[in-house]
Amino acid sequence: MAKPDVSPDGTIGIAAGIAPNGAFEVSIRHRGKSLIDPSPAGILLADHPFGPLVETGRTRLIAALGCPGERISAREKGPRGRAVILETAACDDGAAFRVIVPGHPSEGVWRVTGESTRFVTARNDACLGVRHEKFFNSHEGDYKPVRLRTLKHDDLYDLPLTCATGREGETYALTESNIENYAAAYLTGTVSGNAVSVRLTPRPDDDRLAVVLPAGEKITTPWRIVMIADRPERLVENRMVQRLAAPSRIADTTWIIPGKAAWGWWSGLLAPDVPNAGHNMATYRRYIDFAGRMRLRYYVIDQGWASKPSGPGQPADVLTPAEGINVPELVEYARRRGVHIWLWTDWTSLDGRMDAVLARWQGWGVAGMKVDFIYRQDQAVVGFYHRLLATAARHRILVNMHAAFVPRGLETTYPNFLTQEGAMGNEYNRWRRKVTAGYDVRAAYTRATIGPMDYTPGGFRNVTPAAFSPKAPAPEVMTTRAHQLALFVLYPSPLTSLADAPVAYRSADGRWAPGVAFIQQVPTTWDETHGIAGAMGEWIAVARRNGERWYVGAITDSAARTVTLPLVFPKNGRWKVRAWIDGKTPSALGDRTGKVRAGTRLGVPIAANGGAALVFERP
């Protein structure tokens, strides 16, 4: 293997070449020590598998934003002599590689069964990962502790898999970016137990195959990414998934405006002051009024607005509103209050008529669409994402995907893709006890590190886990009010929908409830991010800057603790700070103000299942 390419700061190196068995091989080092031992990288074909390779040349490569790497060209030995390319990138926050097979028209059709790609290590790292039992799933689950060598070869672990090496705070996460004309991957164990293997999602029409392409087209795997940090909380700063994605395909993005949204599904469209509240114009207007008064940019109208299906299992008619619902009238009512409307649809309702639906919605003045019940990440569905996001951009419609696969950089390629699920969020409190404070912490170290996460924070019916009971409408959350506020900072989402009903954000005397002031001011996009403190899977504190203000969110699991926040993120001088911290009950808040100096430390008490939200600004 040749001399490694090294990141600009000199801490990360990636070396690649051809192993003695004739296959591509990659290794990654961090601060002079092996992180990923020599590991195979390759594509497996059903017809005429690739034979041993021989290297034919190397070209220097600057992959993305100054990450140096190489393009290693190779050719099969023997009469076919097909070309294969391996590209690498060494960034200050990780390393990545991908395999490219140029088009070979004489082959007829590429039929890819999987990859030989693995991540080999001699360590038994302590990881956080979410395991699924089948390929067809909502990509919602708990990132639970698991040892690397206990992963089985038939497991299906979703991305990312976040692991601590045990060498001080060294942590890495395995994920992928820039997916097109390809199947999304899971991670599995291996029979030998010393590696994590890439397993492509099979096609629904033939589970022996993952990718089928005309052989005249090239095969390009996603970038296989190893995000790396000296401390686990610093993974939240990582932007490799976004940097290695294909650049924006939308020339004019001035119409793409992030923001917070009112949302009625979680609370059951609860509106005590509206007679017969539900899927009707009066209730929708009530939520629009709330959005305007809260200074929210959007109102997301969820399932129930469209004509009912014609039969069991039939998709909704999203070209025709339900009886009594007038979408253009709602759009105009909202516009006069500075609010814009999103509409829900299941993804099958768009099948075969995507352009017609979006043209109709654009004519109504709809700002965005929430696309639900996808459950897949095979090659066909990856193609659906690209078609939908491109079509929505032509109609100037923003997009949120639900029951969707986790981020793979598509929000960079299509900036109208504001957020996506692929995570358990507050919705689970309607029917399960799974969204605990511990889960929220683990999600911050895993799912929240790779891209937008539509968790829907802001549950204001806060109770202890002992008092919690799943219910709907008016669900509760088993975390504190301050914990819920902190999630607005911890989980990135340019579209952030408030979970609760308008009535939940008012006190009995009609005034805004404690904590609303923070929600009203917290932004949904950020200029700078720092993971400032934490212990993996136990607690975390993250600081994000928007303009001249810094926002900090800190949460803990079921253990109460006083955390120390190093004030390394604000620049020199004194800062005014306002902090919303846990009170004596889960729904109580302490509202504190004071002044601090940059470079010092700030102690913050956090209750069990609790948190803290802080705002720093110049006096």
Written in H, E and C, the secondary structure of 127-182 is EEECEECCCCCCCCCCCEEEEHHHCCCCCEECCCEEEECCCCCCEEEEEEECCCCC
What H or E segment, with its residue span, contains residue 285? helix 281-293
Give the C-alpha separation, 315 to 579, whole Å. 47
**Alpha carbon distances (Å) from 514 to 467, 497, 520:** 21, 19, 12
Residue 160: asked if its preceding bond is cis (omega within 30°), the reply is yes
Residue 396, token pair as written in the block: 């100037």
pLDDT in tens, 309-342: 777 778 889 999 999 999 999 999 999 999 999 9
For the segment 469-501, what is each residue's pLDDT rounded down to a tens digit?
999 999 999 999 999 999 999 999 999 999 999
pLDDT of residue 1: 65
pLDDT of residue 64: 72
Contact 532, 595 (CB under 8 A): no
Are 156 and 192 within 8 A, CB to CB?
A: no
Instruction: For residue 370, list its beta bridge partners.
Output: 344, 400
CB 588 within 8 A of CB 458: no
How much is the pTM? 0.97
* Tokens found for residue 313: 């299992």
Please, which residues bridge with residue 261 across strands? 298, 497
- Which residue has 């507050």 as its token pair? 426
Tokens of 267: 């609370």
CA atoms within 13 A on the CB side of 569: 27
The SS3 of residue 334 is: helix
pLDDT at residue 78, as a whole number: 86
Given its phi and psi angles, is residue 362 left (phi above 0), alpha (psi -120 to 50 degrees) or beta?
alpha
Q: Which has the closest alpha carbon to 486: 580, 561, 421?
A: 580
Q: Look at residue 344 in the predicted model and tell me its pLDDT.
A: 98
Q: Which residues pair with 376 in a beta bridge?
A: none
- Which stretches of the chain score pLDDT less than 70? 1
Could you write out the DSSP letters of every residue in 425-468?
A: -GGGGGT-S---HHHHHHHHHTGGGSS----------B--TTT-
Closest CA to 265 of 249, 284, 285: 284
